[in-house]
Chain A
């Protein structure tokens, strides 16, 4: 469980929340606190008040992978292979092990052909996949993806979503404005003005949102038929 208790941090006010293992999609209006919540769970920020525990430990004591909304802002190295290897190199892992892990994750995400390319020459979708590979190479306990789909076209986003499934992190948290992508998660968390308005399986959360524009648009069309 990821447990949040007594959280007061910027706009967020969460008395108590337990997030189950699996994929959790965080949805809500702009400024509702989605990124802030993800930052707390990733340990990027420490709450002004309250606690976050991931299976009993603070996020900064856990292995966490983070994919930013703008993947190129996280890119540090010129060569794709060096970028993906960087979290392991920073830990002085043996080079032979690093090579094997880079080859393995790249094959998994179908980006082996990019390893020798320059990171700045990649397309938006390729950057998102390289970011995902870099965030996943340490086998994180928690993988956090902050709206990385908002700058991708539908086909690239769909391919990225499929490949995200290949990364087997015990906890995966992502926020998105694509409600069909949110509906594919195991759990959906709906935030409004920093408060949790709904948390549960996608069907239950979205049926409560039926009268809002957060309801997945194509579901309405299917019902019409």
Chain B
């Protein structure tokens, strides 16, 4: 099971994107500044836009599932309940899990932004897609919901998960770190080695640790805390 980006090139006016990479099983984290091309690459990987050159090869899996950055882009149902059904899911279970059972009859766009994001993510995660691409899944979520999402992602033991995010604090454990840098997709390698070479777009706690010579096992703040306290003792 693998997704290959074979010499992808894409440009718009004077802005360019290049990627040549293989994504295998596990959780991949793609960092990068606003405007660096994360969302565009996510759309290309999901097959929603075609690159100018190169190709995306999905080996050993069916379609990709993409969670868009703005949750209202996914809405197709008039009510929260219909919205869940539109994903082919049973509303009662999904809504109970995300604590929105009371809002079953509410219009999706009347939910708060964070509530809508958590509803769409719950539906997408429930589908257990082999290739799951998440564009800024933490945006608009509060810290409790971000932690819940991290737990859900950790439960995904099969398939390929690719997280495009600029989240700085609450993150799941990942296998590989990438970065969109000056229009190119850069592979920082596997964790924990990747943390040493990541640089400016690394989460604040990772930069905090690296600056102090602390070596966390992964990118979660708990990993930094554990490594820091161990060094301390």
Give me the interface of A with B, judged by CB distance under 8 Å: 28-32, 35, 69, 121, 123-125, 147, 150-156, 177-180, 212-214, 217-218, 220-221, 224-225
Would you call B145 an interface residue if the criterion is a C-beta within 8 Å of the partner chain's C-beta atoms? yes
For A217, the closest partner residue in chain B by CB is B169
B114–A224 CB distance below 8 A:
no
B141–A30 CB distance below 8 A:
yes
A217–B221 CB distance below 8 A:
yes
Interface residue from A31, A156, A224, A225 paired with B34 (Cβ < 8 Å): A156
B205–A217 CB distance below 8 A:
yes
Closest Cβ–Cβ distance, residue B46 to chain A (whole Å): 20
Give me the interface of B with A, judged by CB distance under 8 Å: 13, 32-35, 69, 111-115, 117-118, 136, 139-147, 166, 168-170, 200-201, 203-205, 208, 212, 221, 224-225, 228-229, 232
A221–B205 CB distance below 8 A:
yes
Residues of A within 8 A of B146 (CB): 213
Docked Cα-Cα span, A116 to B200, in Å, equals 30
A–B pairs, 25, beta carbons within 8 Å: A29-B142, A31-B111, A32-B142, A123-B34, A125-B34, A125-B35, A150-B140, A151-B34, A152-B34, A153-B32, A154-B166, A154-B168, A154-B201, A155-B201, A156-B34, A178-B168, A179-B169, A180-B204, A214-B143, A217-B170, A217-B205, A221-B205, A221-B228, A224-B229, A225-B212
Question: Could you count the A-B residue pairs with CB atoms below 8 Å apart for me: how many are there?
Answer: 94
Closest Cβ–Cβ distance, residue B218 to chain A (whole Å): 15
Residues of A within 8 A of B145 (CB): 29-30
Docked Cα-Cα span, A15 to B140, in Å, equals 28
Residues of A within 8 A of B140 (CB): 30, 69, 147, 150, 177
Docked Cα-Cα span, A29 to B145, in Å, equals 8
Contact (A177, B228) CB under 8 Å given A35-B112, A152-B34: no
Residues of B within 8 A of A156 (CB): 33-34
The residue in B32, B69, B221 that gathers the most chain A C-beta atoms within 10 A of its C-beta is: B221
Docked Cα-Cα span, A195 to B94, in Å, equals 27
Closest Cβ–Cβ distance, residue B125 to chain A (whole Å): 17
Contact (A221, B115) CB under 8 Å given A29-B142, A30-B142, A156-B33: no
Docked Cα-Cα span, A121 to B13, in Å, equals 10
B166–A153 CB distance below 8 A:
yes
For B202, the closest partner residue in chain A by CB is A154
B34–A221 CB distance below 8 A:
no
Docked Cα-Cα span, A201 to B139, in Å, equals 26
Contact (A221, B208) CB under 8 Å given A69-B113, A213-B170: yes
B224–A153 CB distance below 8 A:
no
Closest Cβ–Cβ distance, residue A191 to chain B (whole Å): 11
B144–A213 CB distance below 8 A:
yes
Interface residue from B141, B200, B221, B224 paired with A177 (Cβ < 8 Å): B141
Residues of A within 8 A of B118 (CB): 30
A220–B225 CB distance below 8 A:
yes
Residues of B within 8 A of A154 (CB): 166, 168, 201, 203-204
A31–B112 CB distance below 8 A:
yes
Contact (A30, B166) CB under 8 Å given A125-B34, A177-B143, A221-B225: no
